[in-house]
C-alpha cells in the first residue's frame, strides 16, 4: 500500500523483455541487483546503505514585477518559511506537524525515518533514513519517501523540490549516503569503535 492512499499499491520492479524474460539492460535496478548478487556470491558480503536527502517546500504566490512602464503579475514560488530567519529554531514549526505526519505515514509502511533536520536555506529540510538498511530496500524506501512527500504536500498546495539549491550557491545540494559491508550479520567495513 502507498503511505498517501491506502487504495493505491506501489510496486518496485526490474524491467525485463516480455519475449525472453531477460533483464532489460538499461534498467538501473538490473545493474544494482547484479552488483549486489556478485558481492554476495563472490565475497559473501551484503551492502547496506543509509540515505539522507534534502528537499525544499514552496508555496505558490503571485509576484508583481515591473515590465517596462507597466506593473504585471506572474506566478512564483516562495519558501514556506520565507517570513522567518532560516536558522531560527521556530522556522521548522511552520510545517512541523505536516512533516511528522509524513514520517508517521512512512512508519506504517515499514520505512524508518531517523531524523528530520532543518537546512540552512529558507524552506530547506533533510530527511535521514534508516542508517543500515539492505541496499535495494534503502533505495526503494528513499523513492517511496520522496513520492510520499510530493503527494502529501500537493494536497496542502505546497510544492516539494528535491534539488534544493539556488543556482549561485555552490555545494548546497547534498544527498549523503553511508555505505557499509556486512558479513554474517556483522559490519566488516568499520572497526570496533565505529558507530555503524
> How many domains, the chain?
1
193 falls within a domain: no
At a CB cut-off of 8 Å and minimum separation 6, what does 125 contact? 54, 55, 56, 57, 92, 95, 99, 116, 117, 118, 119
**Span 99-108, pLDDT tens digits:** 999 999 999 8
Say what the pLDDT of residue 118 is.
Answer: 84
- The answer to whether position 20 is within a domain reads no
Q: State the chain's mean pLDDT as an integer.
A: 80
Q: Is residue 115 part of a domain?
A: yes
Query: Does residue 169 form part of some domain?
Result: yes
pLDDT interval class at 4 (50, 70, 90): low
Q: Is pLDDT larger for residue 12 or for residue 136?
A: 136
In a domain, 146, yes or no: yes
Residue 174: which CATH number? 3.30.590.10
Average of pLDDT values for 125-141? 88
49 located within any domain: yes
15 within a domain of the structure (yes/no): no
How far from 128 is each of 15, 51, 55, 113, 174, CA to CA, in Å? Answer: 29, 6, 11, 6, 12
Which pTM does this prediction carry? 0.76
Domain that holds residue 78: 28-187
**Position 64 in a domain:** yes
- Could you count the other beta carbons within 10 Å of the beta carbon of residue 183? 13
Amino acid at each position: 500500500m502507498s503511505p498517501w492512499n491506502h487504495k493505491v499499491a506501489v510496486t518496485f520492479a526490474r524491467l525485463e523483455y516480455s519475449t525472453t524474460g531477460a533483464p532489460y539492460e538499461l534498467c538501473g535496478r538490473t545493474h544494482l541487483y547484479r552488483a549486489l548478487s556478485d558481492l554476495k556470491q563472490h565475497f559473501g558480503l551484503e551492502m547496506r546503505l543509509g540515505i539522507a536527502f534534502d528537499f525544499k517546500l514552496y508555496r505558490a504566490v503571485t509576484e508583481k514585477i515591473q515590465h517596462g512602464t507597466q506593473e504585471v503579475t506572474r506566478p512564483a514560488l516562495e519558501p514556506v518559511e520565507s517570513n522567518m530567519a532560516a536558522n531560527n529554531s521556530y522556522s521548522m514549526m511552520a510545517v512541523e506537524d505536516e512533516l511528522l505526519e509524513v514520517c508517521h505515514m512512512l512508519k506504517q509502511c515499514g520505512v524508518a525515518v531517523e531524523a528530520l533536520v532543518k537546512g540552512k536555506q529558507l524552506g530547506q529540510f533533510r530527511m535521514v533514513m534508516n542508517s543500515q538498511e539492505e541496499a535495494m530496500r534503502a533505495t526503494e524506501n528513499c523513492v517511496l519517501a520522496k513520492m510520499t512527500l510530493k503527494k502529501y504536500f500537493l494536497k496542502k498546495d505546497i510544492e516539494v523540490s528535491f534539488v534544493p539549491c539556488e543556482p549561485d550557491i555552490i555545494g548546497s545540494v547534498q544527498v549523503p549516503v553511508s555505505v557499509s559491508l556486512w558479513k554474517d550479520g556483522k559490519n566488516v567495513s568499520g572497526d570496533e569503535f565505529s558507530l555503524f
